[in-house]
Amino acid sequence: MHSMSSSTRPRSLSGIQPTAESFHLGNYLGAVRQWVGLQEDHDAFYFIADLHALTVQPDPAQLRARVHRSAAQLLAAGVDPERSALFCQSHVPEHTQLAWVFNCLTGFGEAGRMTQFKDKSAKAGADKASVGLFTYPILQAADILLYNPHHVPVGEDQRQHLELSRNLAQRFNHHYGETFRQPEAYIVKGTAKIADLQDPTAKMSKSASSPNGIVDLLDDPKKAAKKIRSAVTDSGDTIRYDPEGQPGIANLLTLFATVAGTTVDDVVAQFEGQQYGHLKVALADLVADLVSGFGERTRAYLDDPAELDRVLAAGAARAREVAAPVVVDVYDKVGLVRGV
């Protein structure tokens, strides 16, 4: 029995951009692991946001490869295609169809206040930033609202985009009648923020962190372990959880607890009286194990691209069953005449 067929379980939905060669520990512990957890008791819809990736004009061959790498990594992380619809955003045309309606409901100023747009366009230079980058959060709102999810597991940086989705749901309902549910962000406290290993006051991020500040899940396990052992730590020598005073150690404790599946308090107790180096070496081993298993599983999926395509096609078919009637309903409600 497919547990995802017509059940009354709550829905979860999320997407990840295929913009890197590898997921990093921050994505994995902050978001992807929550995806995996939620599929236990939710009907889950998870997708690779390839249309969002287009907003910064990636190289076509690289984009194509990264879509497959992302799918393989999601499977390696434990997304189970028997239980969750795993698909590629561009395979479900309803995302862009609904996005157009939302473009027409979003104020110019409202879109301009999105902090991620402001950051990204400032970096690109005003003339180089695409209109796609500007409307990015509106496409994201369409991604979400098409599935009426209860929970949207994302990192802290997506809070404002979630808020826009909630506003658009409410605005649409107000103008055209009850249609969309206001989705909740699902951000697990503590695990949501993994910091840069070289600058523990900044978030671990592929765009901002230096190569040594970030552990890629497809890193060689020895290299991953070395990055952990070379993490910047604070002056002092007592292992305690003090994110303000000892952000470096706090980050390593959070990492340890999250990877080992225990609590920070337990980790602090485990290392009582020991030195920073002990914590680093033990964490380096844990991370090397994680990375080694993850890399093996990912490579096995990448060795069978036909199977990956089959999984993505089945996921898209399942997603379209939900998304297509929503677009029909929305087009009716806004006054578009049905084609024959």
User: Where is the binding site, in residues?
Assistant: 17-19, 26-27, 143, 155-157, 194, 203-207
What residue is closest to ligand TRP based on CB? 15
Contact pick of 15, 18, 213, 295 for ligand TRP (by CB under 6 A)? 15
The 17-36 site mask, x for binding ligand TRP (CB under 6 A), equals x-------------------
- Could you list the residues known to form a binding site for L-tryptophan, using ranges: 143
Could you say which of 206, 223, 226, 333 is catalytic? Answer: 206
Could you say which of 123, 128, 189, 203 is catalytic? Answer: 203
Cα diameter, the chain = 75
CA 55, distance to chain mean position in Å, is 17
Using the rule CB under 6 A, give the single segment among 8-16, 207-215, 229-237, 288-296 that binds ligand TRP. 8-16
239, 257 in Cβ contact below 8 A? no
252 lies in the site for ligand TRP, by CB under 6 A: no
Query: Least distance from C-beta 18 to ligand TRP, angstroms?
Result: 10
Query: Least distance from C-beta 49 to ligand TRP, angstroms?
Result: 4
Query: Least distance from C-beta 45 to ligand TRP, angstroms?
Result: 9
52 lies in the site for ligand TRP, by CB under 6 A: yes
Q: Is 120 a catalytic residue?
A: yes
- Could you list the residues known to form a binding site for ATP, using ranges: 17-19, 26-27, 155-157, 194, 203-207
Q: Is 193 a catalytic residue?
A: no
Instruction: Output the 3-class SS for the chain.
Output: CCCCCCCCCCEEEEEECCCCCCCEHHHHHHHHHHHHHHCCCCEEEEEECHHHHHHHCCCHHHHHHHHHHHHHHHHHHCCCCCCEEEEEHHHCCHHHHHHHHHHCCCCHHHHHCCHHHHHHHHHHCCCCCCHHHHHHHHHHHHHHHCCCCCEEECCHHHHHHHHHHHHHHHHHHHHHCCCCCCCEEECCCCCCCCECCCCCCCECCCCCCCHHHCCECCCCHHHHHHHHHCCCCCCCCCCCCCCCCCHHHHHHHHHHHHHHCCCHHHHHHHCCCCCHHHHHHHHHHHHHHHHHHHHHHHHHHHCCHHHHHHHHHHHHHHHHHHHHHHHHHHHHHHCCCCCC
Q: Which of 305, 328, 326, 324 is nearest to 316 (CA)?
A: 324
Using the rule CB under 6 A, give the single segment among 11-19, 61-69, 226-234, 271-279 that binds ligand TRP. 11-19
Contact pick of 29, 49, 302, 319 for ligand TRP (by CB under 6 A)? 49
**Residue with smaller CB distance to ligand TRP, 14 or 254:** 14
The 205-234 site mask, x for binding ligand TRP (CB under 6 A), equals ------------------------------
Residues 124-183 interacting with ligand TRP (rule: CB under 6 A): 140, 143-144, 152, 154, 158
Q: Is 203 a catalytic residue?
A: yes
**Residue with smaller CB distance to ligand TRP, 13 or 268:** 13
The residue ranges that bind ligand TRP (CB under 6 A) are 14-17, 49, 52, 140, 143-144, 152, 154, 158
Write out the catalytic residue numbers: 120, 203, 206
